[in-house]
Amino acid sequence: MAAIESFDNIYLDLSKEHGKCRFAETGLGWKPVGGGDTFTLDQGNIGGAQWSRAAKGYEIKILQRNSGIIQLDGFQQEDYERLSKIFKNWYSTNLENKEHSLRGWNWGKAEFGKAELTFNVQNRPAFEIPYSEISNTNLAGRNEIAVEFAVGEGGKPGQNGATPGKGKKASAGKDQMVEMRFYIPGTTTRKEAEGGDAGSDADEEEKNAVTLFYDTLIEKAEIGESAGDTIATFLDVLHLTPRGRFDIDMYDTSFRLRGKTYDYKIQYEAIKKFMVLPKPDEVHYLLCIGLDPPLRQGQTRYPFLVMQFKTDEEVTLDLNLPEEDLNEKYKGKLESHYEQPLHSVVAQIFRGLAGKKILSPAKNFQTHRAQSGIKCSIKASEGFLYCLEKAFMFVPKPATYIAYDQTQSITFSRVGGAVSALSTFDITVHMKGGGNSQFSNINREDLKGLEDFFQYKGLRVKNEIDEDANMLAAAMRAEDMASSDEEVVQNKADRGSADEDEESVDEDFQADSDSDVAEEYDSNHESDGSGSGESDVDNEVDDDEDEEMEDAEEEEEERPKKKKKTG
């Protein structure tokens, strides 16, 4: 047998690129064909090996002594005899031929091994899940448990089997499975749950099977645990996104959220943004943590964590860190003792451990009430919009972050058809890549301040409110002029036939009647004569006048009555 055995077109841990695998007496190595980092594994770290069918042919699964698993896929069936001699002679390990169950049943038995969770159907493995690929688990129902897989960005091969972290295998494929759920009814004992003999634990108390599965998986996959002790713990912290109260355990490289139903373990390297925002009620502070990849809760993704703290809540805290680490690793980042408001302490510790800059609202913008947050809404969800130095931030739900450099233009518009159209307005942010976000029901008094701030930041602003106001004013002026003309015409029409009375002459009026009346009451009327002849003439005249008056009255009754003249 040669000192070195080589195999081509071999894939390491579901890698996207194949490479060359070489076996020697001191161990094995793998190098991608396109060049890159080489993976090596010493002979002393090989604890076992299995041969089975896989996606690209046949696979060798190497169980490491430090509980890790290495998968080499792409071998041919005729390579089995050759590889079996390599492992037996050089590594003192039998290459076990393991057949998988191909029945396709979804009902079987889960067994917890040293490095992986195996789902067996009729005593044959249907699939295996390495603990290194499990990022979280939660009880999703009465008898149901959800197992979440790590979503990583891929890792570089390590030396002597070292892996860069969880999610390395899953990130190699184009599509990734992110969650699997198990239905586990009934009761069982811990030994039986771990795959032991049920008869040897007769005296052990039986517990809910799904709860035992949950506890065992957390322990095996080291979910919620981190290297070293807890540096700081904050109890019963209110979270607005996702909703609930969680205890926060902060470790050296990660932090853990422990709730009544869900537990999460989040690496500090997943934190992309960290913001401290004062709430407009002047009673609370909001701490927003941007995550990539986002936090998952079933089918829901949370790209932001939003915590709420009371402004006047003080805390006294001593960090659980040795003096050497404080003076060397965290020098200038963390302090050994804190006695400050709770939101400030949490923010400083996150900044020190995660190494992220704390973002805050822009100093050159305030609302008409001298606050940083603007009350508004996205569709039916009410919240607060903050103008940061380089982005918008809407909290709490849906938490929305929009960078200024991704903004094409901003439009101010009035609420269409709303009763409060004169007191509120909307902002529509148009993105460069397409799409837009609308923030509604903003107080009208903040319009000027927002417009000045956006122009100061060099953003394109279109104010449709002023355009609508100008158009409305012009329309109102035209309407006023039209209404004034109609009012003049209407006033004239209301007078009826009075206009005719001003210009027409009354035919019944006799101008000579004035002189007759004057003669009757003239001072010389009686002295002019007292003879009977004159009196007879007067009587005849009176009779004639009476007849004329009666005729005039009859004519008035026959004529239509005229309207009275109004002054």
Measuring CA to CA, how many Å separate 265 from each of 84, 218, 319, 405, 457? 40, 11, 20, 32, 38
Q: Which amino acid would we find at residue 264? A: Y
CA 317, 318, 322 angle in degrees (round to 5)?
A: 160
For the chain, the C-alpha Rg in angstroms (whole number) is 47
What are the CA-CA distances from residue 93 to residues 6, 54, 96, 157, 180 (Å)?
A: 19, 21, 9, 24, 33
Rounded to whole angstroms, how far apart are CA atoms 115 and 221? 8
Nearest C-alpha neighbor of 153 from the set 140, 163, 167: 167
Query: What are the DSSP calls for 346-410, one per residue?
Result: HHHHHHHHH--PEE-B-TT---TTS-SEEEEEETTEEEEEEEBSSEEEEESTT-EEEEGGGEEEE
Contact predicate 30/73, CB 8 Å: no
CA distances from 124 to 60, 121, 328 (A): 17, 5, 52
The confidence score (pLDDT) of residue 310 equals 94
Give the pair of three-digit tokens for residue 429. Answer: 């942010």
End-to-end CA distance of the chain: 133
pLDDT of residue 393: 95
Cα(247)–Cα(405) distance, rounded to whole angstroms? 36
pLDDT of residue 508: 54
Please, which residues bridge with residue 57 across strands?
54
pLDDT number for residue 17: 86
pLDDT at 504: 47
d(CA 551, CA 535): 24
CA 341 to chain CA centroid, Å, is 27
Strand partners for 121:
124
State CA 108 to chain mean position distance: 39
Q: Is the pTM of this model over 0.85?
A: no
pLDDT tens digits for the chain (567 residues)? 457 899 999 999 878 888 999 999 999 999 998 888 889 999 889 989 999 998 889 999 998 887 788 999 999 999 999 999 999 999 999 999 999 998 889 999 999 988 889 999 999 999 999 888 888 888 887 889 989 887 655 444 455 445 445 555 555 566 778 889 999 998 887 766 665 555 555 556 778 899 899 889 988 887 765 445 789 999 999 999 999 999 999 988 889 898 887 888 888 999 999 999 999 998 999 999 999 988 888 778 899 999 999 999 999 999 998 888 888 889 889 999 999 999 999 999 999 999 999 999 999 899 998 999 999 999 999 999 999 999 999 999 999 999 999 999 999 987 654 444 578 899 999 999 888 999 999 999 999 999 999 999 999 999 887 655 555 455 566 566 655 555 544 544 444 444 444 444 555 545 554 444 444 444 444 444 444 444 444 444 455 545 555 554 555 445 555 454 444
pLDDT at residue 516, rounded to an integer = 47
